[in-house]
Amino acid sequence: MTTSTPPAQRQYFLDWLRIFAFALLVPYHVGMYYVSWDWHVKSAELHPSLEIWMQLSSPWRMGLLFLIAGAASSFLMQRGGGFVRSRSKRLLWPLLFGMLVIVPPQAYYEVVTKVAYAGSYLDFMQLYLQAYKGFCRGTDCLILPTWNHLWFLPYLWVYSLIGWALLRLWPRLSEGCAAWLGGHGTAATLLLVLALPLMAARGLVGLFPGTHNLVWDWYNHAQYLPLFLTGLLLAQSSFWELAQRYRWAASGLAALAWVLVMLYFDHYREVAPPEALRWAQRALYGAMQWWCLVALCGHARRHLNAEHRWRATLTSAVFCVYILHQTVIVLLTRLLLPLGLPAAIEGPLLIVLCFALCAVGFVLARRVPGLRLLLGISSSGRTDPRGQSAAALHRTHPARHQTSG
């Protein structure tokens, strides 16, 4: 039996998840200033104890953004015509502007602090635009020009083209995937079968460490491209309902896996693990990534699937904040450096000031049409002629995705 498709309903929780994931980048990158991991500039007061807390978000933070981006792309493609053009305009102009204007201060202070570069910023920019290759520490050389934290933009653009081409070749692929999930919508399917791509991807981490080099970053492509395609192909399926139904199971599995993985890294900090155990840990880590995503989507759909007067503004602002935030953090560290503040005061102050300055940048830039485009400021929240938001996702009738009892 078939019935007519009900009206589209906005999945507000995806907006809130996107806002949350982008906002989390600010405290995370402030944390990078204080931990032992390499970053563009480093505090003299390091606190490696922060690393375990930062590792709470590492398995899922960027993957969540690619999953949501795939879901949003599903709707944009349904609107018909101009998907490639609109994605290119949305992603490539901010990337170009970012590489020429936003990112260079990060690279400048990196070479000042790491290789004792004594030239002015203008001197550095001449070298930057000439793709100078002489800023090296041993064999580690800074590649210029660079996109640094904006690597998400070219990756998303390429994945969008792949997704578009895939659905041009197989127009009913998403319907087929949705029907498959509807007919196999069990906990095992959601928590085990759909975890397999990330479990397999984790096996590449030893061979291809993350580089954010678009043409040589196979581990990151192996995890982020499947997540984008999952969002694209299952956006209009029962996936979100299943995530809500099994959110507590996913939460428990993710928490248990995280504890086991942390114990593994702590125990084998100085000695090599047995090879079989190494591969088991990698498979568990990949599964943990997926369980974290399912838990986040499920809890968000249960508790955040509602409108709020700030949602549209935050949705419009979050991409701009993403573009600006890392350079703002680096510049603030240089500004606060002479004060000699303890990290317990300086860190929270960096977070608050970064959000405040990025908010000011958004408020000013959205009044200037050219800057709106270059800083990725959308007019999210406005409705299209069909009465639904441009980021809305259709909910197709379950009969298209499930077999009847």
pTM, two decimals, is: 0.90
Task: Quote the domain boundaries for residue 194.
Answer: 12-103+147-304+311-398
Q: How high is the pLDDT of residue 365?
A: 95
Q: What is the DSSP string of 66-82?
A: HHHHHHHHHHHHHT-S-
User: What would the pLDDT profile of 279-297 be if each residue is shown by its tens digit?
Assistant: 999 999 999 999 999 999 9
Q: Residue 145: is the preceding peptide bond cis (ω within 30°)?
A: yes
Residue 337 lies in a domain: yes
> Measured between alpha carbons, how far is 175 from 59 in angstroms, rounded to an integer?
29
* Total domains in the fold of the chain: 1
**Predicted pLDDT of residue 335:** 97
What residues of the chain score a pLDDT lower than 70? 1-9, 379-405
Give residue 395's pLDDT.
37
Residue 272 located in a structural domain: yes
Q: Report yes or no on 130 lying in a domain.
A: no
Task: Return the pLDDT at 248.
Answer: 98
What is d(CA 2, CA 358) in angstroms, rounded to the nearest whole number? 50
User: Tokens representing 105?
Assistant: 């201060």
In a domain, 1, yes or no: no
- For residue 343, report the phi and psi dihedrals to the nearest 5 degrees: -60, -30
147: burial class by Cβ within 10 Å (0-12, 13-18, 19+)?
Answer: buried
Answer whether residue 5 is part of any domain: no
In 3D space, the residue among 92, 216, 62, 220 whose CA is nearest the CA of residue 160 turns out to be: 92
Residue 123 lies in a domain: no
pLDDT for residue 369: 84
Determine, yes or no, domain membership for 224. Answer: yes
- Residue 4: the pLDDT is 36
Structure confidence by residue, pLDDT tens digits, 187-227: 999 999 999 999 999 999 988 988 899 999 999 999 999 99
> Is 137 a domain residue?
no
| pLDDT of the residue at 153 | 97
H-state helical runs in 184-303: 187-191, 196-201, 218-234, 239-245, 247-267, 275-303
